[in-house]
Structures are given as structure tokens and as C-alpha cells.
Amino acid sequence: MHPDADDFAAPAAGGAHGANDRDAATQPAGLVSALAARRTRGGQPAAILAIRLDRFASACETLGAQRAPRLQAIVQARIACLLPPGAVMDWVGAADLAVITALPNGTTDPAPLASRIADDLTRPFSLDGFELFLSCSIGVAADQPDIPAERNLQQAFDAMLRVDRQGGAGLARADKPAAPPAAPLLAALPDALERGELSLQLQPRADFAGATVSGYTVRLRWHNPALGRVAPQDFLPAVESLGLVGRIGSWLLESVLPLVRAADSIAPLQFTLLASSALLHRPQMVGALAHILDAGGFAPQRLCIELPARAVPADADIMARLAALRRRGLQLALGDFDDSAGCRHALAALQPDNVTLDVRRLGHAGQPGDSTDRLRDACLLARRAGAAVCAKGIETRQQLDAVRAWGCHSVQGYLLAQPFPAAWLLQTHAAIQQRAQELLATAD
């Protein structure tokens, strides 16, 4: 599968959300502001805890709805006793409490603090003569100042949801995600499409020229009632091994076509599909793309197929199919492009319209010493070949300034917007366009 780990028959967490699921888009602004303010002050490292009271609903059935807020207050007070001064706590749902706190002096690991909270919440609660027993699901994330606050919050909530879906009464760390068991995943995947568990998300791309949202990358997501949201890198290899590439690829194409047409009322947006070699080896998929281009009723350049730069097919038949699609107007891109010999060969062989650079580690403490120079060289190499360059994984303004200086044409990443359900396109595009204007517009 595509090593981007995101889609169109190719490997940011996604899928249709259940009633209790929360992603970064639904985190209260106050939590984001509190985390940003703590970063500004500096000091002891911060931790983010997403706590779900596993039995809260059944407890409220016993207590009655009027006592539920009092139970929340008791739970919050018990947790507050275990936290250093200055902690921020916010109920983001009836049973969900978010905590942002400095770690105790001399500690850098938030897991022991989360374990103490979990243990304390197992003690019975007394309220108006009722004795209640609760357990909790806790997601733990250490604050990482070089990634957006919204993403850190999302990581904590996603970790909590993993525990909740496995029955609760546990703790999960955001930095150690666990892959779902292989056997249940393989058993559930063949019927996922018929059960309506697959969905599409869109991640926007914005051009420096005009500070305009110019397109969206289409990402495949799977949400299973038992397994929860399964990460693309966990299920997409199984799509190939189970022979589901054709079925799921056809469904994806059929689902993307209405999006392209609906976007006519917004702007001439381009939709990029991430493709794998397994997909391109199927003549019927290439035929389906050709049919869409012939009968779609939209400009062919509105569709782009992105191939992983390190896995461009060497097969002459496949390259001929790609050439035929390009003659029809389809655009091609190389993903995760760098200055390696393999990527240089792919650039010469494919002569893509676009390339993407993965810059998410740019400026991070653990970044290899020469990676900035290599990414800059890759940008110049692609530009000289006539390809437009998109920097993906932009999470900080420092990264944005760097890739602008290199001459990148466009950007994609959490600093602009995270992926969102495709069905929200018409309602969401204007807000993302406004964000692009704020980020990319420069004074004349």
C-alpha cells in the first residue's frame, strides 16, 4: 500500500464517529487556549488526560438526572486532589473530563499520574445515601510543543477511545498505540463496505499564490463497532492480502465523483487519490478512471492520482496505462518525494505534474542533521523538472515559513486543517479558505 499510510487503496485516525467519539475538531476552544497558554509560560512538562467515566450513564439511572452534576463535581474534586496547582479541567461530555496539568516536579512520564487517578476513581462514591462504583478509561498524551495543541488533545482522546472500545477500565498512552488483533480485523474487513463502515475524509491543500484552497486529498477511513477506528496502516495492507482492492477502489471512485461535481459550486478544486501498485495492476481500475474522465462532466485535471515516489511501477504496461490517462487530462503526483536516487529516477520516468514533500519532522529535536538540506534540494529538483511542490505535514508557522522560502507552491497539514468527513465539504470549505487567507496572505 501507499507508505503515506492514508488511502485510495493506500495506507492523521479517522472514520465515521460514534455518538461519544470526539476528534480535534470538537475539542472546546478553552482547552486549546489553556494548553497554548501553558506552553507560553514554560516550566514543568505538561500532560493531557482524557478521562471517560465508564459507568456514568448507569450510575445516573440510579441517582436520577438531577444528581448527575453533583456526581461530576465529586469526581472532579477527587481528581483535583492528585494534581499539582494550576491544572485545568473541563467536562467535554456528560462522562468525559479533559485534564491539562503540569507533571509533578522531577517527572517527565504522565503515566504514573494517570494510574493514580484511575486507582482513586475505583473507590466508591457516596451521594445522598447511594454508594456508586465507577471505573474509567484514560488516554494519556505528553504535551509536545512542536505540534499543534489541537492535535495533542486529539491524541489523548483517541487513546481513551481505544480503551473504551475494549471494555473500559484501563489506560492507553498516545505514544504507544496498539494495533487491533489481526484475526478480528481480517474477519471484519470483507463485509465492512456492505455494513457502511468505510467512509472518506478530505484534507485540504492551499496554494501560496493567492492564499487559496486549491484541492483536497481523499483519505479512506474504517470505523468498526467492535474494533473502533482502525488506523489505515493497520487495515490497508489487509485490503490487498484479502483481494479487496478492486471492490474498495471501485467504491472509492464512485464516491469521489459526486464530490467533484458538488465542488463546482465552490471553486475548481482538485481531488487527489492516493494509489498503490496493487491498484494500478488492475486494468479494470484504469478503465474505470478512463470512463469517469470521459463521462464525468468535469475538467479532467480536477482528478489527480498520487503514487509513492519510492514505488513507481517499473512495468511497461502500467506506465503505458498511466500515459494514456494523462493524455485524457488526468494529473499525476509523486508522494513523499526526496532527493534520493530512487526518487530522482521516478521523477524522470513519470514526469509528474506535482510532488509532495513530507516535512512533518522539520525543526523537531529528533530531526536528522541533514534532512532540512535534503528536503530543500528535493524541492529545487522537482521545480526544475516542472512539477508543482506541495509540503505536507505542516504543523508550525516555522515550518510554513521555511517551505515558503524554498519555493514550495502549496501546503497541507494540521496548521491549515485536519482531515474532515467528505460530507462536510460544502459547509466546511469557506472556513478553511478563511484559515488559508490568515496563514498564507502576505502584505504587499
For residue 340, the 8-state DSSP code is: S
pLDDT at 19: 33
Instruction: Tell me how many degrees the CA angle 347-399-359 measures, rounded to the nearest 5.
Output: 35
Sequence spans of domains, the chain: 24-173, 197-440
Do 99 and 87 contact (CB within 8 A), yes or no? yes
pLDDT for res 366: 61
Looking at 289-303, 348-362, 398-412, which range is the least confident one? 289-303
C-alpha cell recorded at residue 422: 467528505
Indicate the pairing of strand 46-53 with strand 420-421.
unpaired
CA angle centred on 130, ends 129 and 136, rounded to 5°:
145
Helix H or strand E encompassing 390: strand 388-392
Q: Which residue has the higher pLDDT, 75 or 297?
A: 75
Report the alpha-carbon distance of residue 22 to residue 232 in Å, rounded: 18
> Average pLDDT, stretch 222-228?
83
| Sign, Cα dihedral of 16, 19, 23, 27 | positive
Specify the pTM.
0.69
375: three-class secondary structure by DSSP: helix
The whole-number pLDDT of residue 282 equals 67
Q: How confident is the model at residue 77 (pLDDT cuts 50, 70, 90)?
A: very high
Residue 36 pLDDT level (bands cut at 50, 70, 90): confident
Residue 144 to residue 193: CA distance in whole angstroms: 36
Q: Which three cell numbers stand for residue 384?
A: 526544475
Strand 88-93 versus strand 46-53 pairing type: unpaired
pLDDT band at 293 (very low <50, low <70, confident <90, very high): confident
Q: What pLDDT does residue 187 have? A: 92
- Domain 197-440 CATH superfamily: EAL domain (3.20.20.450)
Nearest CA to 75 out of 101, 51, 110 is that of: 51
CB 113 within 8 A of CB 47: yes
Q: Please tell me whether residue 272 adopts helix, strand or coil conformation.
A: strand
DSSP 302: G
Q: What is the DSSP string of 194-263?
A: TTT-EEEEEEEEEETGGGEEEEEEEEEEEEETTTEEE-HHHHHHHHHHTT-HHHHHHHHHHHHHHHHHHG
CA distances from 266 to 17, 69, 114, 218 (A): 26, 44, 46, 17
d(CA 56, CA 437) in angstroms, rounded, equals: 43
Predicted local confidence at residue 95, as pLDDT? 92
98 pLDDT higher than 90: yes
Could you tell me the pLDDT band of residue 223, with boundaries at 50, 70 and 90? confident
DSSP string covering 113-162: HHHHHHHHHTS-EEETTEEE---EEEEEEE--TTS-HHHHHHHHHHHHHH
Q: Which residues pair with 412 in a beta bridge?
A: 392
CA contacts within 13 A on the Cβ side of 324: 15
Predicted local distance difference test score (pLDDT) of residue 443: 47
Q: Does domain 24-173 have CATH number 3.40.50.720?
A: no
Burial of 436 (0-12, 13-18, 19+ CB in 10 A): buried
Q: How confident is the model at residue 13 (pLDDT cuts 50, 70, 90)?
A: very low
pLDDT band at residue 296 using 50, 70 and 90 as cut-offs: low
pLDDT of residue 225: 84
CA distance 154 to 374: 31
Average pLDDT (378-393) is 96
The values of phi and psi at residue 181, to 5°, are -55, 140
3-state helix, strand, coil in the chain (%, to 5): 45, 20, 35
Tell which residue, 162, 180, 184, 183, has the closest CA to residue 171: 162
Which residue type occupies 239?
A: V
Backbone φ and ψ of 51, nearest 5°: -115, 125
Most confident by average pLDDT, 9-23, 198-212, 242-256, 285-299: 198-212
